[in-house]
Every structure is written in C-alpha cells, then in structure tokens.
Amino acid sequence: MRDGFIKAAAIVPNLRVADVTYNADQIIEGINKAEEGGAKIIVFPELAVTGYTCSDLFLQDTLLSGAKRELLRITKATKGSDSIVFVGYPLAYEGKLYNTAAVLQDGEILAFIPKRFIPNYAEFYEMRQFTPGPVNAEDILWDGELIPFGSRIILDVDAVRGLEIAAEICEDAWVMNAPDIEHAVAGANVIVNLSASNETVGKDAYRKMLISSVSARTITDYIYVSAGDGESTQDIVFGGRTLIMENGSLLAERKIFDNGYGEAKLTFADLDIARLNYERRRMTTYFSAQPEDYLHLAIHMDQVRTNLTRVFDPHPFVPSDKSKRDERCDDILNIQSRGLAKRLSHIGCQSAVVGVSGGLDSTLALLVTARAFDLAGIPREKILAVTMPCFGTTDRTYQNACTLATALGTTLSEVDIKAAVLQHFADIGQDLADHDVTYENGQARERTQVLMDLANKTGGIVIGTGDLSELALGWATYNGDHMSMYGVNSGVPKTLVSHLVRYFAETAKDSRLSKCLFDVLDTPVSPELLPPTGEGKISQKTENIVGPYELHDYFLYYMLRAGFPPAKIYRIAKDSFKGVYDAETILKWEKIFARRFFAQQFKRSCLPDGPKVGSVAVSPRGDLRMPSDASGALWLSELEALRP
C-alpha cells in the first residue's frame, strides 16, 4: 500500500434466496478470490447472507438463526486475513430487525452499520420487515461480544496514511440528506454502498450518474455493489451492477447483466487515497469537521505494496477517443479565441502582431488570433504575421510560415534580423563562432523587440506564442519569447498543441492551409537559434536537449494536478510508458524536469495575461502561487534515492 494505493473488490456472488448455507459458501469463495487478487477492501451486496428478496421470511426465526450461524462461519473464514469485508446481513436486536453491513476482519465482527432510510414505495416495502438503524453508534451484545452498532462509524486504517472508510446501504445514497455527506465531513474518504437496486428501463444511467455525483461531491472513492441474478424475479429483476468511482471518475465497473447467468462478478480497482487527500487540501471550499458523535475504529493492516492494475494515461492532457478529443480541441480554441477577443475589445485594439516561425506554437497562436478576429468582427488583414529569419532559419519553416500567413488572409511581413543581431553582437563583444546562450538569446530578444516596435507602429498588441510545457520547464528567453501582451497558448501543454493544430488541419476547407499545417506537424520542435545542418535541416531539436515533451507533460500533470510526489510519478510512469522509454530514461528526464521546474519559477512569476484552458495552469495570479526562490531539495533528494 505504498504511495497511497489500496486495492478494492466489489463482488456480486451467485446467491439463492433464503439458502444461507449456500450463500455463505459463495461469499467465502468470493473473499478468497478477492484476496488472491490483492484486494484489501471487499464489498458484497445488501443482505447478501440471506438474499435481499426474502420478504416476510425475514420475520422467521429459522431464517434469522441460520443467517447468524452462517455470518459467524463467514467471519471465522476471515481469520488470519487483514482485509476488511463488508457483507449485507439482517440483524435481529431487541425485538427489531435491521438491514446492516457486517464489517469483518481477521475472524472478528468489527461493527454493524445499519441502513438509515428504509423505502416503503413501489416494489420496495422494506418497512414491513425492517426498522431504520440508529445514527449514533452504541455497543450491543451480540453472540457474547460487544459490537459497535450505528451509522456514524468510520474505520481508520493505519496501513494507508489517511484512509478512513464508512458505509451506507442502497437507499441511503438516493435521499436528500444522505449519510455519505456526514461521513465525508467527518473524514471518510472511502464510502462503500451495499445495495439491492432492481433494473428498469433507463434506471442504470441515472444510477451511474448519481454515484458519480456522490463521489465527486464528497471527494471520495465510492464502491457500489448491487444484488444480481440469484435474487427472486417474482416481480423485479436485479442486474448485479458494480461501480467503483474516484472523485466522480470511473475506475472500474461491471454493467448490468454483464456475466453468464448464475455466475459471480468480481470488480477490482486500485484506489488512490493520497490523491483524494490532496484534492481535499487543495479545495478550500471542502468542509471537514470532527463531530463528537462519530465512532472512529482503529484498524490495523499490514504494509504491503499494492500490485497496480490501474492504468494511468501516458497523455493525460489529451483524450484518447477522437470524438472527445475533437470536442476538447473545439472547447480550448473557443477559450483561447474568446479570451483574446475580449482583450482586443476592452482596449479598443483593431490589430495584432504575431511572430510566425513555421513551428507548432506560433502556428497555433496565429490560428487562434485569426479566429479571435473573426469573433470580434475585425478583418484578418489587420493581423500582422511577422517572419524574422536569422542564423537558424530553414527553408522548410520559412516557407510554412509564409504559406500559413497568406492562407489565413493575414498581412505577411518579413524582417530579416541577421544584420541587427550581428551589430548587437559586435556591440557587446559576442564571438559569432561561440554558439552559447548569449548567441541564442540575443536572437530571441531581437525578435521580441521587432514585434513590440511593430505593435507600437500599427497600434496593435503582441500575441504570445509560448505554451504551458515551455513555461513549466522555463524553456523561454527571459524578456524574449517569454514576453507579450497576451499569451494565448499559456494554458496549453505541448502534447495538446499538436492536436489543436491537427484539428485545424483536418477541418480546414482550404487544401493549401491543410497541407501546410500537416507539414508543420511533421517538423521537429526547435527554436531555430543555431545554424542548420549542411543539408539545410534543423540542427537544434528541443526534445534532444530538455527531453521528450510527452514525459514532461506527464510529470507536470501528476505533480500539479494530482499532487503526486516524485517517487510515485516515477512508479506509474514506468507502467504508462512501458515499451516506449526504459526506467533509466524516465528517471533521467524526471530529474531534469524537477530541477528546471524549481529553478525557472522566476520566469513564471511575471507572466503576461493568458487564458487558463484546463485543470493545470502556472499563472502566478491563479493556479500556481510559488516563490521564485523556493528550494526543490526535497523533490530532488527523493529522485536521487531512486534506482532504475
């Protein structure tokens, strides 16, 4: 359970109504299979020991005494195991019957957690047999043992830092004042729901939406498991639905009727408790308290390393499904272009200056600017697209820049900066043969000076081209391409920039524009500040210097969005990029990412305005409030201790 992970299993066993011995056999078999799969939290449906549809048979001593006998047998079967098992059980106590979740571990019953809201409508007439359970926990004498009984019980598990588990039963989740809200406020970050929810047309979609909403609102891992085929079909049918959600996102599920008839269902998922706790810390609107009327049970569990089956997307900023990706691209382009249109409107500006290099970032910036001008009702010829060839410019990028500008209907201007840069180098004593950082940045700052002066001359503003990934790495010349009046790409990571340009290319009605955009996509990422090769090709490839952007975007996302520490990011990256990068390569670039991220914050502390487009951003006015001189020693020392 290192790194905050713990495996859970939702099990729909094959049951027989009122056959408690058979049911207990199936439950014990399910527990064994779940533990073989590494599960430490195991959840069965509502009233699984007897079956949910026993109806008035629940009032019979024969059924209740048999259920008690078999629950004790199930409990005994957990001896020697530290997994926590939740199984539905009808508890008879002081002349009343309660629909409960019996909580089992290592041969003991830890608690009975009752259903609080008993339905009495349509096909569910539970109030005929069951009584709403007590809210506050009390000790009851059951089979010679004092056992906590009540809804407000939380299991505090020591093996995973901050893991706190609570339970509710079926209808409890559907009501306005659901117990899950109380549980989450009291600290629970895992909520299990033992359910028996029948199937009707359209119900499953609503149920999934409900559980997702509960998980998102409470910022919890929510494990839902409903009764299946073995229940009576006298009037209703059960589909054996399982859902495991994390903060509203689906981790795993088995859909209704998703098994052979009469077969058990097992659904596994790796819960990330550390991420939930990070989300709660991050969201200042999340309310938490420690009510005195909650009973917290300290639960021991051995420390083990969870064998992860959970998949972490190697490209977390980019939806893998094309239709969703296209929808995402359209949303982002609207955010970018409308943000710029508002800025133009606010300052009464009718023109803009964009430096175009024939690379991805400047291409996207020009496309967005054209779209913004269309929104604002300003002619595109008011956009001044400036190409500034210098020592590293290649014919390919130059031609693409010119084609792009003319195809979009903007005004193309060429300013050859070689003479100006040579004069500047002479003024400061820079050796032209020394291709150091001064050689590179001198060109970048000259380009920015040209753009700023042209903006003054045309009464426009300079549109920034730098993207989120470059800002995270500090891969920008301070007061060079680092500076603009509005940075339309500042919230877009490099891995998403290419998809935005591709979206434009695929939807462009102009074949010349489309062909140009596809060639831009095929061009290596480069600032083109060093002379090309003898064959006239790009010699300076960014990813050879700072590393693959798909890795850096991955590190950035899981560090800022998920709050993962370096070792955890390294662990999941090895799985995400298996067969693409070896462990040594991943660790090498993660170290570089960490060093650059902390060393380059001063560049992010004075960023120009620009629109946030996703859940990760580095604006000093919004998402990332970080001192420019913060030390990265803790992060780097953790990385240095890792071995490929």
Active site residue 606: no
What number of other Cβ atoms are within 10 A of residue 625's Cβ? Answer: 9
What does the DSSP 8-state code read for residue 4? G
Q: Is residue 11 a contact partner of residue 41, using CB atoms and an 8 Å limit?
A: no
Cα 256 to Cα 91, 145, 205, 234, 278: the distances in Å are 28, 39, 11, 18, 33
Q: Is residue 185 a contact partner of residue 288, using CB atoms and an 8 Å limit?
A: yes
Instruction: Give φ, ψ of 494 to 5 degrees.
Output: -60, -40
Separation of alpha carbons 366 and 377, rounded Å: 16
Separation of alpha carbons 346 and 469, rounded Å: 29
Choice among 40, 115, 265, 494 that is catalytic: 115
Instruction: Give φ, ψ of 608 to 5 degrees.
Output: -65, 165
Element (H, E) at 167: strand 163-169
For 638, counting Cβ atoms within 10 Å of its Cβ (0-12 exposed, 13-18 middle, 19+ buried), the class is middle
N-to-C CA span, the chain = 20
Q: Alpha-carbon dihedral of residues 427, 430, 433, 436, nearest 10 degrees?
A: -140
Q: Is residue 613 a contact partner of residue 488, using CB atoms and an 8 Å limit?
A: no
Instruction: Give φ, ψ of 97 to 5 degrees.
Output: -120, 135
Q: Is residue 471 a contact partner of residue 610, using CB atoms and an 8 Å limit?
A: no
Active site residue 208: no
Strand, helix or coil at 154?
strand
CA-atom Rg of the chain in angstroms: 31
Element (H, E) at 46: none
Separation of alpha carbons 101 and 91, rounded Å: 9
Sequence-separated (6 or more) residues with CB below 8 Å from residue 300? 82, 158, 159
Sequence-separated (6 or more) residues with CB below 8 Å from residue 159? 1, 6, 40, 82, 300, 301, 302, 303, 304
Q: Where are the alpha helices (DSSP H) in 262-415?
A: 273-282, 322-347, 360-376, 395-407
What number of other Cβ atoms are within 10 A of residue 248's Cβ? Answer: 16
Q: Read off the tokens for 427.
A: 């003024």
Choice among 7, 35, 40, 46 that is catalytic: 46
| Residues pairing with 113 in the sheet | 101
Active site residue 115: yes
Separation of alpha carbons 438 and 441, rounded Å: 5
Taking alpha carbons only, the member of 471, 472, 454 closest to residue 463 is: 454
Q: Alpha-carbon dihedral of residues 27, 33, 39, 43, nearest 10 degrees?
A: -20
What number of other Cβ atoms are within 10 A of residue 525's Cβ? Answer: 21
Q: Read off the tokens for 82.
A: 């530290």
For 630, counting Cβ atoms within 10 Å of its Cβ (0-12 exposed, 13-18 middle, 19+ buried), the class is exposed
Q: Read off the tokens for 628.
A: 């420019």
Choice among 54, 68, 170, 591 that is catalytic: 170
Q: Strand locations in 206-350, DSSP E? A: 221-226, 242-246, 249-254, 265-272, 295-299
Taking alpha carbons only, the member of 106, 535, 514 closest to residue 300 is: 106
Catalytic amino acids? 46, 115, 170
